[in-house]
Amino acid sequence: MIIKTERLVLRPWEENDAEDLYKYAQNPKIGPIAGWPPHKSVEDSLEIINTVFAKNETYAITKNGEAIGSIGLLIHPDGNHYWGDGCGELGYWIGEPFWGEGLVVEASIELLKHGFDDLKLEKIYATFRNDNFQSKRVLEKLGFKFGDTVINEDFTGERFMEVVMVLENQ
Protein backbone atom coordinates (compact mmCIF):
# COMPACT_ATOMS: atom_id res chain seq x y z
CA MET A 1 0.00 0.00 0.00
CA ILE A 2 1.13 3.56 -0.66
CA ILE A 3 -0.02 6.51 1.44
CA LYS A 4 0.51 10.06 0.20
CA THR A 5 0.56 13.18 2.35
CA GLU A 6 1.16 16.79 1.38
CA ARG A 7 4.96 16.40 1.49
CA LEU A 8 5.60 12.67 1.82
CA VAL A 9 5.00 9.25 0.35
CA LEU A 10 4.77 6.30 2.74
CA ARG A 11 5.50 3.06 0.93
CA PRO A 12 6.90 -0.40 1.63
CA TRP A 13 10.65 -0.57 2.11
CA GLU A 14 12.68 -1.78 -0.88
CA GLU A 15 16.16 -3.30 -0.94
CA ASN A 16 17.43 -0.32 -2.96
CA ASP A 17 16.61 1.90 0.07
CA ALA A 18 19.56 0.41 2.00
CA GLU A 19 21.94 3.31 1.29
CA ASP A 20 19.35 5.92 2.30
CA LEU A 21 18.55 3.93 5.45
CA TYR A 22 22.21 3.65 6.39
CA LYS A 23 22.74 7.38 5.79
CA TYR A 24 20.29 8.21 8.59
CA ALA A 25 20.28 5.08 10.79
CA GLN A 26 24.03 5.22 11.47
CA ASN A 27 23.45 8.39 13.53
CA PRO A 28 23.89 7.58 17.25
CA LYS A 29 21.23 10.17 18.10
CA ILE A 30 18.51 8.07 16.44
CA GLY A 31 18.73 4.33 17.16
CA PRO A 32 19.61 4.22 20.85
CA ILE A 33 16.77 6.56 21.88
CA ALA A 34 14.43 4.21 19.96
CA GLY A 35 16.02 1.09 21.47
CA TRP A 36 18.18 -0.16 18.61
CA PRO A 37 21.91 0.16 17.79
CA PRO A 38 23.15 2.54 15.10
CA HIS A 39 23.65 0.75 11.79
CA LYS A 40 27.29 -0.06 11.06
CA SER A 41 27.07 -0.63 7.30
CA VAL A 42 24.80 -0.59 4.27
CA GLU A 43 24.66 -4.39 4.70
CA ASP A 44 23.25 -3.92 8.23
CA SER A 45 20.60 -1.62 6.80
CA LEU A 46 19.74 -4.12 4.05
CA GLU A 47 19.29 -6.85 6.67
CA ILE A 48 16.90 -4.60 8.63
CA ILE A 49 14.92 -3.89 5.45
CA ASN A 50 14.60 -7.63 4.81
CA THR A 51 13.62 -8.51 8.39
CA VAL A 52 12.31 -5.77 10.69
CA PHE A 53 10.97 -3.49 7.94
CA ALA A 54 9.44 -6.40 5.99
CA LYS A 55 6.62 -6.62 8.55
CA ASN A 56 3.08 -5.75 7.54
CA GLU A 57 2.11 -2.09 7.89
CA THR A 58 5.75 -0.90 8.04
CA TYR A 59 6.58 1.92 5.64
CA ALA A 60 9.51 3.97 4.46
CA ILE A 61 8.89 7.67 4.97
CA THR A 62 10.05 9.15 1.67
CA LYS A 63 10.51 12.73 0.61
CA ASN A 64 11.39 13.51 -3.00
CA GLY A 65 12.04 9.80 -3.56
CA GLU A 66 14.54 9.43 -0.68
CA ALA A 67 13.83 7.16 2.30
CA ILE A 68 14.32 9.48 5.30
CA GLY A 69 12.71 7.48 8.09
CA SER A 70 10.34 4.70 8.99
CA ILE A 71 6.82 4.45 10.37
CA GLY A 72 4.59 1.52 11.12
CA LEU A 73 1.54 0.17 12.84
CA LEU A 74 2.69 -2.99 14.54
CA ILE A 75 -0.05 -5.48 15.26
CA HIS A 76 0.56 -8.59 17.38
CA PRO A 77 2.69 -10.64 16.90
CA ASP A 78 4.76 -8.02 15.04
CA GLY A 79 4.68 -5.41 17.82
CA ASN A 80 7.03 -4.85 20.72
CA HIS A 81 4.16 -5.46 23.16
CA TYR A 82 0.82 -7.22 23.14
CA TRP A 83 -1.86 -4.58 23.76
CA GLY A 84 -4.91 -6.80 23.24
CA ASP A 85 -7.12 -7.72 20.33
CA GLY A 86 -8.12 -4.80 18.15
CA CYS A 87 -5.03 -2.82 19.15
CA GLY A 88 -1.85 -1.77 17.38
CA GLU A 89 1.35 0.08 18.16
CA LEU A 90 2.62 3.15 16.32
CA GLY A 91 6.38 3.32 15.86
CA TYR A 92 8.45 5.83 13.94
CA TRP A 93 11.77 7.58 13.50
CA ILE A 94 13.09 10.14 11.06
CA GLY A 95 16.57 11.29 10.02
CA GLU A 96 18.04 14.12 12.06
CA PRO A 97 18.12 16.66 9.18
CA PHE A 98 14.31 16.46 9.13
CA TRP A 99 13.68 16.96 12.85
CA GLY A 100 11.37 19.84 13.69
CA GLU A 101 9.62 19.95 10.30
CA GLY A 102 6.44 18.21 11.43
CA LEU A 103 6.98 15.33 9.01
CA VAL A 104 6.45 12.55 11.58
CA VAL A 105 3.18 14.16 12.68
CA GLU A 106 2.10 14.47 9.03
CA ALA A 107 2.94 10.82 8.30
CA SER A 108 1.37 9.60 11.56
CA ILE A 109 -1.96 11.36 10.93
CA GLU A 110 -2.45 9.41 7.71
CA LEU A 111 -1.25 6.11 9.16
CA LEU A 112 -3.51 6.47 12.21
CA LYS A 113 -6.47 7.12 9.86
CA HIS A 114 -5.55 3.93 8.00
CA GLY A 115 -5.32 2.02 11.28
CA PHE A 116 -8.73 3.09 12.53
CA ASP A 117 -10.64 3.23 9.22
CA ASP A 118 -9.15 0.35 7.21
CA LEU A 119 -7.65 -1.96 9.82
CA LYS A 120 -10.54 -1.33 12.25
CA LEU A 121 -8.25 -0.90 15.26
CA GLU A 122 -9.97 0.23 18.46
CA LYS A 123 -6.86 1.61 20.18
CA ILE A 124 -3.37 2.48 19.05
CA TYR A 125 -0.55 2.57 21.57
CA ALA A 126 2.87 4.19 21.33
CA THR A 127 5.81 4.15 23.69
CA PHE A 128 8.89 6.28 24.18
CA ARG A 129 11.85 6.44 26.52
CA ASN A 130 11.01 8.88 29.29
CA ASP A 131 13.89 11.13 28.12
CA ASN A 132 12.74 11.26 24.48
CA PHE A 133 10.96 14.61 24.61
CA GLN A 134 10.68 14.87 20.80
CA SER A 135 8.63 11.69 20.63
CA LYS A 136 6.49 12.83 23.53
CA ARG A 137 5.67 16.07 21.66
CA VAL A 138 4.77 14.17 18.48
CA LEU A 139 2.36 11.92 20.37
CA GLU A 140 0.76 14.81 22.22
CA LYS A 141 0.20 16.65 18.92
CA LEU A 142 -1.52 13.51 17.61
CA GLY A 143 -3.88 13.41 20.59
CA PHE A 144 -2.35 10.46 22.44
CA LYS A 145 -2.94 10.38 26.20
CA PHE A 146 -0.76 9.05 28.98
CA GLY A 147 -1.46 5.39 29.71
CA ASP A 148 1.24 3.99 32.00
CA THR A 149 4.95 3.55 32.53
CA VAL A 150 6.89 0.31 32.24
CA ILE A 151 10.49 -0.70 32.73
CA ASN A 152 12.08 -2.01 29.54
CA GLU A 153 15.54 -3.09 28.44
CA ASP A 154 17.40 -1.81 25.37
CA PHE A 155 19.81 -3.59 23.02
CA THR A 156 22.72 -3.08 25.46
CA GLY A 157 20.82 -4.59 28.39
CA GLU A 158 20.33 -1.19 30.02
CA ARG A 159 17.00 -0.83 31.80
CA PHE A 160 15.00 2.33 31.26
CA MET A 161 11.57 3.78 31.92
CA GLU A 162 9.24 3.69 28.95
CA VAL A 163 6.12 5.86 28.80
CA VAL A 164 3.01 4.28 27.28
CA MET A 165 0.57 6.55 25.41
CA VAL A 166 -2.78 5.56 23.91
CA LEU A 167 -5.16 6.89 21.29
CA GLU A 168 -8.71 5.54 21.03
CA ASN A 169 -10.78 5.42 17.87
CA GLN A 170 -13.35 8.22 17.97
DSSP per-residue string spanning 65-113: TEEEEEEEEE-TTSSSS---TTEEEEEEEE-GGGTTSSHHHHHHHHHHH
What is the model's pLDDT at position 2?
96
Which amino acid is it at 32? P
Average pLDDT over every residue of 9-21:
97
pLDDT digits (tens, 9 = 90+) for 127-151: 998 888 999 999 999 999 999 998 9
Reply yes or no: is the peptide bond before residue 77 cis, omega within 30 of 0. Answer: yes
Q: What is the pLDDT of residue 56?
A: 92
Sign of CA dihedral 5, 108, 68, 59: negative
Higher pLDDT pick, 170 / 167: 167
Q: Each residue of 21-66: pLDDT tens digit?
A: 999 999 999 888 877 889 999 999 999 999 999 999 999 999 999 9
> Which residues are CB-contacts of 16 (< 8 A; sequence separation ≥ 6)?
none
**What is the pTM (predicted TM-score) of this model?**
0.93
Mean residue pLDDT of the chain comes to: 93
Helices 103-117, 133-141: inter-axial angle, 10-degree rounding:
50
